[in-house]
């Protein structure tokens, strides 16, 4: 079994009818970089940058960030790397936050408060430093930038204005910045963003659907709260319908769309995701071999028919049954 999975590393992630599927890794700390090559990932679909801000009492400056991004880009060569800017707030508490260096006002409901891009737009110097650090090393690899916790097209516009201003400033200083700036994408991880995906798509270069938060915000179930974890379900029809709406908005514009929540690493859910039109999945590196194995056994026509059946259902239990049945048939 191990040998079989190891052999998979060199085989392409293509369906039986020849449709290529991009399988990428989510990365939380640079120490995981060697795992990516071992797993046979085609780049990093989600580089969470929170590690740079954790376990410290001050904020990392532009230079420290530049070094960290350079290390990742150099390790990845020409493979694509999607760097997500700081997703701070909510349950993701950090030292500097409690030290008062960054806003400490958690508010009555932190998950609904100053989290992700909202915080960065309130403290634009954080966003500017991160954009600048990424732009400084952009020509050393194949990089894209991702914005977390978006709900409104105007937030994306505001972030892009800052991005372009930072690029201009760097050029004035004589720093080499790519003529065409790296793409700026949006996490679709709130119901608001999913249902406004057609409007947000006009401001974005790509979408990454974050099913972890999308399920949490859609179902009003805290992803870290054990008492209600039985209600946390990315296969709930409400979550799937939001994913479908956002995916279709992207596909209509021929804009890249991927799924990067935990769901993407579950081989049993691959038929549904492919059937919804997704062709790019980002997951824990360790999940890649099994997901690749699943992709290589699937036919896109079958996946599309299966997804249509699933999307006709409104009972979460029935959806779970359909997913299990499909998986059993394939094995």
Could you list the residues known to form a binding site for phosphoenolpyruvate, using ranges: 48, 84, 212-213, 223
Nearest to ligand PEP by Cβ — which residue? 210
Nearest to Mg ion by Cβ — which residue? 213
Kindly tell me which of 208 and 307 has the beta carbon lying closer to ligand PEP.
208
Residue 211 interacting partner from ligand PEP, Mg ion, none (CB closer than 5 to 8 Å by kind): ligand PEP
- CA 130 to CA 60: how far, in whole Å? 10
Question: How near is the Cβ of 212 to ligand PEP at its closest, in Å?
Answer: 3
Known binding-site residue numbers for Mg(2+): 189, 213
Residue 48 interacting partner from ligand PEP, Mg ion, none (CB closer than 5 to 8 Å by kind): ligand PEP
How far apart are the two ends of the chain, measured CA to CA in Å? 15
Residue 256 in contact with residue 208, Cβ under 8 Å? no
Which residues face 185 on adjacent strands?
A: 146
Helix axes 237-252, 300-311, angle to 10 degrees: 130
- CA 236 to CA 176: how far, in whole Å? 47
Binding mask 211-250 for Mg ion (x = CB under 5 A): --x-------------------------------------
User: How much of the chain is in helix, strand and coil states, percent to nearest 5?
Assistant: 55, 15, 35
Residues classed as catalytic? 260
| Given 44, 45, 189, 272, the residue binding Mg ion (CB under 5 A) | 189
Q: Hey, is 258 helix, strand or coil?
A: strand
Residue 169 in contact with residue 131, Cβ under 8 Å? no
Question: How near is the Cβ of 265 to ligand PEP at its closest, in Å?
Answer: 11
Question: How near is the Cβ of 213 to Mg ion at its closest, in Å?
Answer: 4
Left, alpha or beta for 100 (phi > 0: left; psi -120 to 50: alpha)?
left
Summarize as ranges the residues that interact with ligand PEP (CB under 6 A).
46, 48, 87, 189, 210-213, 260-261
Question: How near is the Cβ of 142 to ligand PEP at its closest, in Å?
Answer: 20
Kindly tell me which of 8 and 150 has the beta carbon lying closer to ligand PEP.
150
- CA 89 to CA 131: how far, in whole Å? 19
Residue 15 interacting partner from Mg ion, ligand PEP, none (CB closer than 5 to 8 Å by kind): none
Judged by CB under 5 A, does residue 210 bind Mg ion? yes
Q: Whose CA is closest to 65, among 1, 128, 119?
A: 128
Q: Catalog residues that contact Mg ion under the rule CB under 5 A.
A: 189, 210, 213
């Amino acid at each position: 079994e191990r040998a079989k999975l190891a052999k998979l590393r060199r085989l392409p992630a293509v369906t039986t009818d020849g449709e290529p599927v991009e399988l990428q890794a989510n990365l939380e700390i640079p120490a995981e970089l060697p795992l990516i090559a071992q797993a046979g990932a085609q780049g990093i679909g989600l580089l969470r940058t929170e590690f740079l801000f954790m376990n410290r009492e001050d904020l990392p400056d532009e230079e420290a960030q530049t070094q960290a991004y350079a290390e990742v880009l150099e390790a990845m060569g020409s493979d694509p790397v999607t760097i997500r800017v700081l997703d701070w707030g909510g349950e993701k508490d950090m030292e500097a936050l409690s030290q008062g260096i960054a806003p400490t006002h958690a508010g009555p409901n932190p998950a609904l408060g100053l989290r992700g891009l909202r915080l960065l737009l309130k403290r634009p110097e954080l966003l500017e430093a991160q954009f600048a650090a990424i732009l400084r090393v952009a020509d050393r690899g194949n990089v894209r930038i991702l914005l977390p916790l978006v709900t409104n097209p105007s937030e994306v516009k505001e972030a892009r204005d800052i991005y372009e201003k930072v690029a201009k400033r760097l050029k004035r200083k004589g720093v080499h910045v790519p003529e065409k700036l790296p793409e700026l994408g949006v996490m679709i991880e709130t119901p608001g963003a999913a249902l406004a995906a057609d409007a947000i798509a006009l401001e974005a270069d790509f979408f990454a659907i974050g099913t972890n938060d999308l399920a949490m915000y859609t179902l009003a179930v805290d992803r870290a709260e054990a008492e209600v974890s039985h209600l946390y379900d990315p296969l709930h029809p409400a979550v799937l319908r939001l994913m479908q709406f956002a995916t279709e908005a992207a596909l209509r514009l021929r804009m890249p769309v991927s799924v990067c929540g935990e769901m993407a690493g579950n081989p049993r859910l691959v038929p549904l995701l492919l059937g919804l039109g997704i062709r790019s999945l980002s997951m824990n590196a360790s999940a890649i071999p099994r997901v690749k194995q699943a992709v290589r056994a699937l036919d896109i026509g079958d996946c599309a028919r299966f997804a249509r059946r699933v999307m006709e259902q409104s009972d979460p239990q029935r959806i779970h049954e359909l997913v299990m049945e499909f998986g059993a048939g394939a094995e």
